[in-house]
Amino acid sequence: MTSVTFRAPWTIPFGEFHLHFDALSAAFLIPIVFLSTLCAVYGVLGVLFALAQHDLKRLLAYHSVENIGIIALGMGAGLLGMSYSSPVAAVLGFAGSLLHVFNHAVFKGLLFLCAGSVQHAAGTRDIEKLGGLLKTMPSTGLSFLTGSAAITGLPPLNGFISEWLIYAALFKLTLMGGAAGGVAILSIVSLALIGTLALACFTKAFGVVFLGEPRVAIPTDSHVISGWMLWPMAMLSLLCLAIGAVPMAAFQFELSAAMQVAGAPVLSGEIDSVMSALSGLTAGIWTLIGLGMIVWILRAALAAARGGAAAAPDRTVTWDCGYAHPTPRMQYTASSFVQPLTSLFQMILRPKVHQRPPVGYFAPGASFESHTPDLAADRIFGPLFTWVTRLSTRVLWIQQGRIQAYLLYLFAALTALLAWHLSRV
């Protein structure tokens, strides 16, 4: 046993308790299970809906839903830690979710800025019409790549650090077993699923918008992008990289806030164990960066070894299996890219296919179109807004347009107030 130093008495919002957490765990468990399940489902649904979108900004907005799910999963882990007397798990969970709030602001802001400059230059947000923009807008593209890698939670960027902290909290809870372990395991599996679905979605977004060839010939005026638009993107990308490279500093940044939320002191020995894990994490991240540089240098050395001045590599057309006329329309579209996943989850997403198959020999024409409707907008928010509008139209008559009517309203309100005041006296 390491030596123990308590920094403050144990206080949680319900008052001061010392060691009587057993009675509380049962009371807290059901709401926490409900919260964690809801957030896991919410996160997965968010990223599934994002997968099916082909409007760039809507896609990013649905991803925010997923990230809120991740934040809430971290909070669930923190709450579980609090109710099962594991202050380290509580602090890790809350630190992870607080850091994710910050990280999300950074990389989501970055992604939206890039989407805005894409829209500004190309005039459309429909990714099915875009393509190959990395060649004309390299800085925007590079920032979008950084943002995508960050939001997917890949090392060495910042999204990975906050997700790792949440995972660490959930691992501590898993080792405890019982109901807490069950909930923690479900949360871990949902986090893993959310991570890989986010990877699929952002490879789609980045790949379809910035890579390959333009799918529809839209005039893209990249000179519209001014320095004022580029500098914020560059700053945010650098911030993503910087936070990702120093996990210990990021954790320290959130530590005091997390301890305050968790309301419990954490033994200094346990903080040290977290710090040693984080230093291992830092070592791993810097190893990745180091190995990357070594491999890059190796490749350059191999190219140089082949032949000095003639070392410029040949350029040709992409291998096309002997097709006579490869066109940009042969590229994978966004809906084709996610088709295996949308068909797997079709009970939730309900993709629609409109096809006119070729009929007979020498068919005159055929067409195929697939799209996934935006279920939240069509089934939930659309009817809700229509209902609100209808309700509002009913009371529209109050706005008469005549000044006499408004004066009448004023005097009536004054009289009513006076009468009410008099009745109370």
Partner 1 sequence: MSGAIIHWAGHLALVLVASPLLFGIISRTKARVAGRTGPPLFQPYFDLIKLFRKGAVYSRTTTGVFRAGPVVAFAAILSSALIVPFHGGRAPLSFQGDLVLFAYFLGLARFFMIVAALDTGSAFEGMGASREASFSCLAEPAVFLSFIALARASGSFSMSEFLSVGLIQAWPSAAGPALVLVVASFVLVLLAENARIPVDDPATHLELTMIHEVMVLDHSGPDFGFLQYAAAAKLLVFGAILVHIVHPVRSAGFLPFLAAMGLGLALVAILIGLIESSMARLRLARVPQYLVAANVLSGFAVLLTLAPHS
Within residues 332-361, the interface with partner 1 by CB under 8 A covers: 332, 336-341, 344
Q: Which is nearer to partner 1, 76 or 155 (CB)?
A: 155
Minimum CB separation from partner 1 for residue 221, in Å? Answer: 20
Of 3, 318, 389, 423, which one interacts with partner 1 (CB under 8 A)?
318
Q: Which is nearer to partner 1, 298 or 388 (CB)?
A: 298
Q: Which residues contact 314 (CB under 8 A, 6 or more apart)?
A: none
Q: Which is nearer to partner 1, 273 or 386 (CB)?
A: 273
Contacting partner 1 within 155-214 (CB under 8 A): 155, 160, 163-164, 167-168, 171, 174-175, 177-178, 181-182, 185, 188-189, 192-193, 195-197, 199-200, 203-204, 206-208, 211-213
CB-neighbour burial class of residue 82 (10 A; exposed 0-12, middle 13-18, buried 19+): buried
Rounded Cα distance between 104 and 158, Å, is: 9
Minimum CB separation from partner 1 for residue 134, in Å? Answer: 5
CA distances from 130 to 148, 320, 339 (A): 17, 21, 19
Contacting partner 1 within 256-275 (CB under 8 A): 273
Count CB atoms within 10 A of the CB of residue 420. Answer: 9
| CA angle in degrees (0–180, nearest 5) for 63-66-72 | 145
Of 284, 373, 382, 383, which one interacts with partner 1 (CB under 8 A)?
284
Minimum CB separation from partner 1 for residue 109, in Å? Answer: 21
Mapped onto helix, strand or coil, the DSSP state of residue 354 is: strand
Q: Which is nearer to partner 1, 306 or 352 (CB)?
A: 306
Q: Which is nearer to partner 1, 106 or 169 (CB)?
A: 169
User: Backbone phi, then psi, for 35, in 5-degree steps?
Assistant: -60, -50
Minimum CB separation from partner 1 for residue 305, in Å? Answer: 8
Rounded Cα distance between 230 and 151, Å, is: 20
Nearest-CA neighbor of 120 among 213, 202, 226? 226
Q: Which is nearer to partner 1, 11 or 279 (CB)?
A: 279
Stretch that binds partner 1, among 55-63, 323-331, 395-403, 411-419 (CB under 8 A): 323-331
